[in-house]
Structure 1
């Protein structure tokens, strides 16, 4: 719940299925003296939401005043709730769950409010969207005091505008890095209740304003508002006693793939080394380097009958 710093006893929240959504502070510093409280919330695509408020009448200074609560979704009016003086029970949870529109015959047409995700496109910049995008992704609740006066219709009821972006698409170039992920859409209409016979004429400026900026979980993380999810610890680094059956099977599959890939690598290495060895043997016989060795000369044979041959008799005389 968002507490107002200068209006004690007033809290406002956005709830889904009866539960207050957690609220987060952004980087933009809040002025403690400001009438506006700004909070970030996580948008859940397709979920219906409501604006809830509580008053502690023991400290709330405006409990005895007639009040008007005006709701704006994405900058467009979504309805007004009238609170007569001294009717709110202290601490009671009160909720505004529907976009409320008056019909010409006095019936109240109600439509559930819901978060609807936006999709980006590669289309060219649409200049008409820049002004619309300034308020997309916001829920603003303004509180006024006023005076109770009889209701008198002076003009036809305002037409229903519907979602800010009819087709839910926005060119990526229009966003310029803005983390806008959702808009407010409306559910099936139904008629319930009649226009009150009184209204509250607001006096002066609102005494309190609550602005809720809704974004996807991933967008809040990218903006640093939510912490990023920690990287999971690899199975190999975890205690084997902490693994469940499926994680054990996955670890075994990884180990098996690792062994198989290691075996293939070893076979390739052996094949490569064998190929290199055979190439070396071929290089020894390729005949590129030939060593020529001189044959030793034959000694000439002696011919004793040759006149020029000297014969030495080694036999002694008997």
Structure 2
């Protein structure tokens, strides 16, 4: 829900299944919000019906007779214009919801998210090029207005309910646009009174603009609007109590694979050692015996035999000291 700083007590949100969609800010975009423009990102789900909900708190008073909310999608012309008069919220909060494009006071085509179709070989269409910068947006222009009467025959706005169709990839390059808005078949709804309004002179027109940029979840993550889902830790680092049956079987498979690799490595090392031994014709070295030493010798069958060597007494020199 976007709260309008310039209009305290006024909120605008996009809702689906009667619940407001989560809004995200692009904190790296310095132009995300300006004095009179507020930009938020929302997730678009293909085929999802949505609406624009306006909520005004009790006691709010505009600079005129009320507030008019002009709604456009994907650079379209006007699709709907809900009105909230000062008297509507005199005793309680007031909510007005735009369900879609109005073709009559009691007939509406609901807003719906759909995939934006693009083609690399499609020529750039001039009418599409003029709207390209607004693809993937829902724009709500808030105006302070004077009310001057009731419109007996409301304007049929259904001719403005046109989706972009297939567009050239060149038009949306660098915009990360994933979806567009199309409209459901016309349906009957409760009739509403349509008033004739005009902007209050001397005030900014529009007074505030709210821009909702809708993208797929994957696109929002790629833009880092929504943090990427962290990769789960390896199975071997997980707490065993949190491992399900399939993951446990995967652990068993990985363990078996590791054992097979280890066994294969041992066999390879033994084979290499055997080849080196067979290729080396030199006899095995035998320790040279020392005096009174024990020698370990290898037999032909590779068994070890212990043998002792005799002690060799050194031959001493005799000196004759007797007189002749």
* Aligned residue number for residue 23 of structure 1: 23
Contact kept in structure 2, 1:151 and 1:197, CA below 8 Å: yes
| TM-score for both structures, normalised by structure 1 | 0.74
Give the direction of change, closer, same or farther, for the CA distance of 1:92–1:114 in structure 2 (3 Å limit). same
TM-score by length of 2: 0.72
- 1:111: which partner in 2? 109
Q: Residues 240 and 157 from structure 1, CA distance in 2 versus in 1: closer, same or farther, beyond 3 angstroms?
A: closer
Other structure's SS at 2:81 match: strand
Residue 138 of structure 2 aligns with which residue? 139
Tell whether the 8 Å contact from 2:10 to 2:57 is kept in structure 1 after alignment: yes
Retained in 1: the 8 A contact 2:140–2:209?
yes
Q: How does 1:109-188 map to 2 (within 5 A)?
A: 109-124=107-122, 126=124, 128=126, 129-144=128-143, 145-151=145-151, 157-166=156-165, 169-188=166-185
Question: Which residue matches 2:8?
Answer: 8
Contact 2:14–2:51 (CA under 8 A) maintained in structure 1: yes
Show the 5 A alignment for 1:235-250. Answer: 235-250=235-250
Q: 1:194 to 1:255 in 2, by over 3 A?
A: same
Assess if the C-alpha contact under 8 Å between 2:75 and 2:132 holds in 1.
no
- Cα RMSD (Å) of the superposition? 3.0
Contact 1:108 1:195 in 2 (8 A): yes
Q: After TM superposition, give the deviation of residue 256 of structure 1 in Å.
A: 1.4
Compared CA separation, residues 195 and 240, structure 1 to 2 (3 A) = closer
User: Residue 70 of structure 2 corresponds to which residue in structure 1?
Assistant: 70
Structure 2 CA distance, aligned partners of 1:197 and 1:2? 25
Secondary structure of residue in 1 paired with 2:83: strand
Give the C-alpha shift of residue 232 in structure 1. 1.2
- Whole-Å separation in 1 of the counterparts to 2:96 and 2:151: 24
CA contact (8 A) 2:80 2:157 kept: no
Partner deviation per Cα, 1:285-308 (whole Å, 9 max, x = no partner): xxxxxxxxxxxxxxxxxxxxxxxx
Alpha-carbon spacing, 1:264–1:281, altered in 2? closer, same or farther (3 Å): same
Secondary structure (helix, strand or coil) at the match of 1:79 reads coil
Which SS does the other structure have where 1:80 is aligned?
Answer: coil
Aligned twin of 2:103: 101
CA drift of 1:268 comes to: 4.9
Structure-2 residue corresponding to 1:48: 49
Superposed CA deviations along residues 155-185 of structure 1, whole A, max 9, x for unmatched, are x74552444322xx44444332221111111
The CA deviation at 1:85 is: 3.7
Q: Is the 8 A contact 2:36 2:207 kept in 1?
A: yes
The unaligned stretches of length 5 or more in structure 1 are 283-318
Q: Report how far residue 135 of structure 1 moved.
A: 0.8
- 2:25/2:32 contact within 8 Å kept: no
1:38 corresponds to: 39
Map Cα deviations across residues 163-222 of structure 1 (whole Å, 9 max, x no partner): 4322xx444443322211111111121234557464223345122221111111222222
Cα distance in 2 between the residues matched to 1:98 and 1:121: 28
Residue in 2 that maps onto 1:207: 207
Rg: which structure is higher? 1
Cα offset, 1:8, TM superposition: 1.0
Alpha-carbon distance, 1:113 to partner: 0.7
Once residues 131 and 272 of structure 1 are traced to their aligned partners in structure 2, the CA distance between those partners, rounded to angstroms, is: 74
Helix, strand or coil at the partner of 1:130: helix
Contact residue 82 and residue 199 of structure 1 kept, 8 A = no
1 CA distance for matches of 2:111 and 2:117?
19
Stretches of structure 2 lacking an aligned partner (at least 5 in a row)? 282-324
Q: 1:152 to 1:174 in 2, by over 3 A?
A: same
